[in-house]
A and B are shown apart, each in its own frame.
Chain A
Amino acid sequence: MTLLEQFQLWLGSSWPDWAAYIVPGIVGIVVVLAFVVITVIIFIWYERRLLGRFQVRLGPNRLGPEGIFQPIATALKILLKEDIVPAKGDKVIHWLAPVIVFVPVLMVFAVVPFGERAILTDLNVGIVYVVAISSVSAVGIYMAGWASNNKYALIAALRTVAQMVSYELPVVLAILGVVLMAGSLSMTQIVASQNLPFIILQPLGFAIFFLGTVAEMNRSPFDLLEADSEIVAGYHIEYSGMKFAMFYLGEYGHALAYACIISTLFLGGWQGPFLPPIIWFLIKVVAVFSVIVWMRATLPRLRVDQLMAFAWKGLLPMAVINLFIVAAEVLWLSEITPWLLVAVNFVFAGVLVLLWSKLFALGGGRVEV
């Protein structure tokens, strides 16, 4: 039983039924919304400070202690900007796109387990819901690129569709591995089944899922949608003011959401010794986010055909093989000690990655598409 349901029961004894149903719902939504927005603002500050360290500079440190208020100043600046709509753009879609990008990100948090019972709604198909909802963002990005009536935005929009669809497959296949081992689609069940975090049990699945999600959230080295040096800002090149802020929030919200999902699926969620569950969860989320920032600070960007090749020739076959290995292990080897499985899976992962890096080197030369 989640905390919200308990709250509901407690209210139900004194309040009318409908109020006992609505009030906890609104309270839960407000709490999660506040958590997401505040965490995203802190993440923006954290990323800028961390990037500064990676880039042998200080990062924003003037406004407030350690520059903690810098994102607020940035937000105020963005909000005060004029809202510009391209004269020949599609005005309705231009207005709708940021909403469609941002709302699914918030909806993902409905099933993120922050603690054993701290979850908004414990859907029995939680992970399927996450996959379904988070891919809606691609539609929003495509709409933004199309409605802007800008060639850079259009290129970004077309890249989005290709990239999001391609990386969805290995991500889902990697999730299936987790689901097989956990024996459930519910997020809390998946966490509860991780006596040994799945990152140790399925290193290959974790690598595929992590790279796939980095591509899904358009982060370096897969940030082809924004590609500053090529198509300037990609799909949000024609956005300003509040609409741009929605994209900005959506982007970091996406990163936060995926960091939460990765922690839940592979890092054991809220589980951990000594500290309270919510602290453990946040530590894991910040750790995942730091790795993403680290990649952004250090890696150059892939070319569009290499990006596609990486998904279809690299991640997808490996994800399929990983799924078969996990299925076989669940079917025949469920009795043996998990540490043996860990050893076997690490060997498999190492061999497969080595094999693939030899077989399908990215290659710099001309690729006919």
Chain B
Amino acid sequence: MAIKTEPFILNIGPQHPSTHGVFRMRVTLDGEVVVDLEPVIGYLHRGIEKLGEARTYTQIIPLTDRLDYVASMTNNLAYVLAVEKLAGIEIPERGEYLRIIMAETMRISSHLMAVGFFLNDLGAMMTPVLYMWREREKLLDLYEMVCGQRLTYNYMRIGGVSHDVPEEFLPALKKWVAEMPRFIDEYDQLLSQNEILLARTKGVCILPRETAINIAASGPVLRASGVKWDLRKADPYSIYDRFDFEIPVGSVGDNYDRYWVRMQEMRQSVRILEQAIAQLPEGEVCAKVPQLLRPPVGEVYGHIEAPKGELGFYLVSDNSIAPYRFHIRPPTLINLTALKDMVIGWKVADLIITFGSIDVCLGEIDR
């Protein structure tokens, strides 16, 4: 007996526990199988690009905090690097090192969130997230020590960082860095060989290497598909050429690889941190930069390897105190375009974890 069936449309989001913000998907389902997917974005649009055009170059820095709020200092860094490139500003050594320390701790913090919530999407009710947060909480305490904030730091400045770290910061950071490899091992032991995790993620929702390159994916999503592309090595900015670290690369491009790459990157970030702390020089942390910076007429694109991928800032200067054009290349928006190709033909549950494995941040997508 043939039963007449027809696909139906399920609206996932914008208020849904697994959309990591206010993302919305109109999913056409045939039973449990995804037939079509239409992402709807813009629920968190604040017009940051337009706001930027009415502010001085320094005033834009706190705006960038509100992009990827899980790694806000990385956004600061990408922006100030672009402005410094435009205005040709030299940064003191200690400032450079402090920036690297902040950027790499932010990467670990962001990846902890990503892996934790990936497991949450898989159905491991909050336990992995809370284990990850145990370490992230210590990092937030460190940031609070440095700039009094736990979410939006506004710490970077054009020419360096806003002020030197307090003297109790470095011992606390050293302690954290010394402990961290043990905790990453713990996560590995608890998660990486879990039978259900393997069954749910191995070979699921593969993003082929060619597709990943064609859609200009970046970050862990691209590297999981087997492309060895990391701006820290491919186009070294700041002082990354002084550190010794590996780029973990996945082989298949399935959900497990995206998870695995993030776990490995945390280890590499710890390596960078160890070297940076050992080499940290004394001295000034910020160059002398005029309050109302007027960069020469021209345009610039500065990009860095943010935790979620290539974060770029495009600035056009007309020699006034505010940029003529201020544009952001958010990594997760570009990575998200792969979602539909990845999930069609898979089940709803796979859609949810694949979305989690891309590790999006809606603050950055909607801007």
Contact = CB atoms under 8 A, between A and B. Distances in A.
Interface of A: 54-57, 151-152, 155, 158, 220-221, 223, 227-232, 296-306, 361-366
Contact of B202 (A57, A305, A364): A364
Contact of B124 (A158, A231, A298): A298
B349 A301 contact: yes
Interface string B84-128: 000000000000000000000000000000000001111111110
Contact of B200 (A228, A232, A303): A303
Nearest to A365: B203
B36 to A, nearest CB: 15
A302 B119 CA distance: 12
B18 A229 contact: yes
Contact of A364 (B17, B123, B198, B352): B198
Given A228-B123, A303-B347, 9 more contacts: A228-B17, A299-B196, A300-B122, A301-B122, A301-B200, A304-B347, A361-B199, A363-B199, A366-B345
A229 B201 contact: no
Contact of A299 (B11, B120, B124, B347): B124
Interface in B28-57: 31-32
Contact of B195 (A55, A232, A362): A362
A300 B32 contact: no
Nearest to A309: B199
B119 A300 contact: yes
B123 A301 contact: yes
Nearest to A227: B123
Contacts of A299: 123-124, 194, 196
Given A155-B32, A362-B195, A364-B203, A55 B127 contact: yes
A56 B204 contact: no
Nearest to A57: B130
Nearest to B32: A304
**Nearest 3 A/B pairs, CB to CB:** A301-B123, A364-B202, A362-B199
Contacts, number: 100
Contacts of A232: 16-17
B145 interface: no
A155 B131 contact: no
A151 B122 contact: no
A366 B346 contact: yes
B197 interface: yes
A296 B349 contact: no
Interface of B: 8, 10-11, 16-18, 31-32, 119-127, 130-131, 134, 194-204, 254, 256, 345-350, 352
B199 A302 contact: yes
* Highest count of chain A CB atoms <10 Å: which of B10, B125, B256: B125
Nearest to A52: B130
A305 to B, nearest CB: 7
B124 A300 contact: yes
Contacts of A54: 127
Nearest to A231: B348
B125 A296 contact: yes
Nearest to B10: A151
A56 B125 contact: no
A143 to B, nearest CB: 20
A358 B134 CA distance: 37
27 contacts: A55-B130, A56-B130, A155-B348, A221-B196, A227-B123, A228-B123, A229-B17, A229-B122, A231-B348, A232-B16, A299-B123, A300-B122, A300-B124, A300-B196, A300-B200, A301-B123, A301-B200, A302-B199, A303-B199, A305-B347, A306-B199, A362-B195, A364-B198, A364-B199, A364-B202, A364-B254, A366-B346
A221 B123 contact: yes
A231 B18 CA distance: 10
Contacts of A56: 130-131, 134
Given A151-B8, A299-B196, A304 B349 contact: yes
Contacts of B122: 229, 300-301
A303 B127 contact: no
Contacts of B134: 56
Contacts of B195: 362
Contacts of A366: 203-204, 345-346
A218 B124 CA distance: 14
A230 B352 contact: yes
Contact of A230 (B18, B196, B203): B18
Contacts of B125: 220, 228, 296-297
A366 B120 CA distance: 22
B53 to A, nearest CB: 39
A225 to B, nearest CB: 12
A20 B10 CA distance: 58
Q: Which of A220, A227, A300 is packed against the most chain B CB atoms within 10 Å?
A: A300
B204 to A, nearest CB: 5
A288 B195 CA distance: 23
A208 to B, nearest CB: 17
A303 B350 contact: yes
B202 A365 contact: yes
B117 to A, nearest CB: 9
Contacts of B347: 303-305
Contacts of B204: 364-366
Contacts of A297: 125, 127
B150 to A, nearest CB: 18
A302 B200 contact: yes
Contacts of A363: 199, 203
Contacts of B350: 303
Contact of A229 (B120, B130, B197, B345): B120
A232 B203 CA distance: 25
B123 A298 contact: no
Contacts of A151: 8, 10-11
A272 B256 CA distance: 47
Contacts of A152: 10
B10 A364 contact: no
Contacts of A227: 123, 349
A366 B8 CA distance: 21
Given A229-B18, A298-B127, A299-B124, A364 B348 contact: no
A229 B123 contact: yes
